[in-house]
Amino acid sequence: MTDTPTTPMSHRQVLEAMSGLLLGLFVAVLSSTVVSNALPRILTDLHGGESAYTWVITAALLSLTASTPIWGKLSDLVSKKLLVQIALVIYIFSSALAGLSQNTGELIACRILQGIGAGGVTALAQICLASMVSPRERGRYSGYFGAVFALATIGGPLIGGVIVDTSWLGWRWCFYVGIPFSLIAILVLQRTLHLPVVKRKAKIDYLGALLVTAAVSLLMIWISLAGKNYAWVSWQTAAMVGGGLVLAVLFVLNESRAAEPIIPLHLFRHRTVTLASIASILVGVGMYGATTFLSQYFQLAKEKSPTMAGILTLPMILGLAVSSMVAGRLITKYGKWKAFLVAGTFLLAVGFGLLGTVRSDTSYGLLSLYMAAAGIGLGLTMQNLVLAVQNTVPRGELGAASSVVTFFRTTGGAMGVSALGALLANRVTHFLTQNLTAAHIHPGAGAAALGGGEIPDLHKLPAPLVPLVTDAFGHGVGMVFLVAAPFALLSFLVVLMIREVPLRTAHQEAAVAPTLELAKEG
């Protein structure tokens, strides 16, 4: 199967076609980053605790994870442009509802819908790019995706922080702000994106999507509640873990028999696909953990405003943007990508290990170096894992294969954020109890002052408690990164085992692509 244009596109034509995709990608990334610095304030207003903080993030990641393979499979069957536009409409609808939420339950439900829309945009943007240019040229354009990802990651927290700090706007505008961008993206895509459509009929494996969602959800619920609502070693743990594993096995059995599986198992016969999927899980744990918990660190350990919390993360985001752009151009020039993956995962492990040493009194100079190392590592890793897989599989399976990498990255992210969030809540409670005892303050009085486990508002706490709370959060976030570092190190070891295949050129792809009847999108 081929879904590339019959004649090569010029650089200008590719950029024009990418404009709407990049704007849509900006919106999708913005949906998570715009709330990152606002969440402590949002959950203070909605009376949510650390568990709700984690679930507002993981709910979107979970639905993104489950929907990504479906979007990928659909892209191999129907109009990619129409799918991107549908995903943006879902994002608009869910964002409007999220802004109207009255409690954490409603907000989490709306975030699930947002994840479905964002999952479609992020997966289809990569797939559309793969349909326009050869793998050799794709490195150059992947740099633009990395830059937009970085821009949204920079702009999101800043926009969210300013919105929350502006009294006449309020946190609800963190969800409304992406709607105009989405509408513009839909219009731009209609005018600029013109890709061939492969006409064939097939069934979508909804049962597979349901089984994998149920398996991941059950394991995430277990991670979130274990150690707090019940012991780690208990009948509840056995039931949830056992149930999750049974659902996972049923998912694999279903995929082996489905006519159109959402994750074709034969893809894993490719060594690169298998290893890149494992690496994506490990990178996802660290990637989403970094962006989720750094905000808490700056606001609750450093006592910064949401706006300042966004500004202070610039070293990580700039590192991601610059490394992604530079690596993309070098990959296109030389046709080699493995060295960038190896260097990226190594720097990610080093950056997380260094961030594991932070405390509430760590100097910002050191923090900047640590964040920059992690950011450069992410910039060298994220897009290139997808590129390595796209260069391996037949063109007819680009959509499914690209989505597999995103699927496993977001699965690792969802599980990682849930596990690391539970760890943070446990460690903050532990360190705060130690601090209260050392200060001769009864732990019960301190817990009551913190609102029974809710995200604390430092401005409303008694002055003697503030340094004890900031110290506990600083130490707790450090522990989170210390636990995330081994996952990045494992991804480094996995990437070392991937065999590098020089990137294909458009001429080479045309030589191996079967001929199918194509219809142009309007």
Which strand (E) or helix (H) includes residue 73? helix 50-75
Within-domain flag for 47: yes
Half-sphere exposure of 131 (CA within 13 A, CB side): 31
What's the structural domain count of the chain?
1
Question: Helix-strand-coil percent breakdown of the chain, rounded to 5?
Answer: 80, 0, 20
pLDDT at 388: 84
Within-domain flag for 313: yes
Burial of 475 (C-beta count, 10 Å sphere; 0-12/13-18/19+): buried
pLDDT at 423: 85
Q: Tell me: the pLDDT tens digits for 237-289?
A: 899 999 999 999 999 999 888 877 877 888 888 888 899 999 988 888 877 76
List the chain residues with pLDDT less than 70: 1-9, 49-51, 135-136, 138-140, 143, 146, 150, 153-154, 196-203, 224, 227-228, 289-291, 395-396, 398-399, 443-455, 504-522
Radius of gyration of the chain (CA): 22
Within-domain flag for 323: yes
Which strand (E) or helix (H) includes residue 520? strand 518-520
pLDDT at 154: 63
pLDDT at 466: 86
Q: Tell me: the pLDDT tens digits for 156-205?
A: 777 887 888 887 888 888 889 889 989 998 998 888 877 766 555 656 77
For the record, the structure tokens of 135 come out as 């793998």
* Enclosing domain of residue 34: 11-205+259-520
pLDDT at 510: 43
Within-domain flag for 99: yes
For the record, the structure tokens of 454 come out as 């809710």
CATH classification at residue 410: 1.20.1250.20
Q: What distance in Å separates the CA atoms of residue 75 and residue 70, rounded to the nearest whole number?
A: 9
Within-domain flag for 1: no
Within-domain flag for 143: yes
Within-domain flag for 438: yes
pLDDT at 12: 78
Q: What distance in Å separates the CA atoms of residue 78 and residue 420, rounded to the nearest whole number?
A: 38
Q: How many CB atoms lie within 10 A of CB 44?
A: 16
pLDDT at 93: 93
The CA–CA distances, whole Å, from 94 to 67, 89, 91 equal 15, 9, 5
Q: What distance in Å separates the CA atoms of residue 155 and residue 146, rounded to the nearest whole number?
A: 14
Q: What distance in Å separates the CA atoms of residue 9 and residue 59, rounded to the nearest whole number?
A: 39
Within-domain flag for 239: no
How far out from the chain centre does Cα 434 lie? Answer: 34
* Burial 134-171, CB ≥16 within 10 A → b, else e: bbbbbbbbbbbbbbbbbbbbbbbbbbbbbbbeeeeeeb
pLDDT at 126: 77
For the record, the structure tokens of 16 come out as 């024009």
**For the chain, how many residues are written?**
522
What is the model's pTM?
A: 0.75
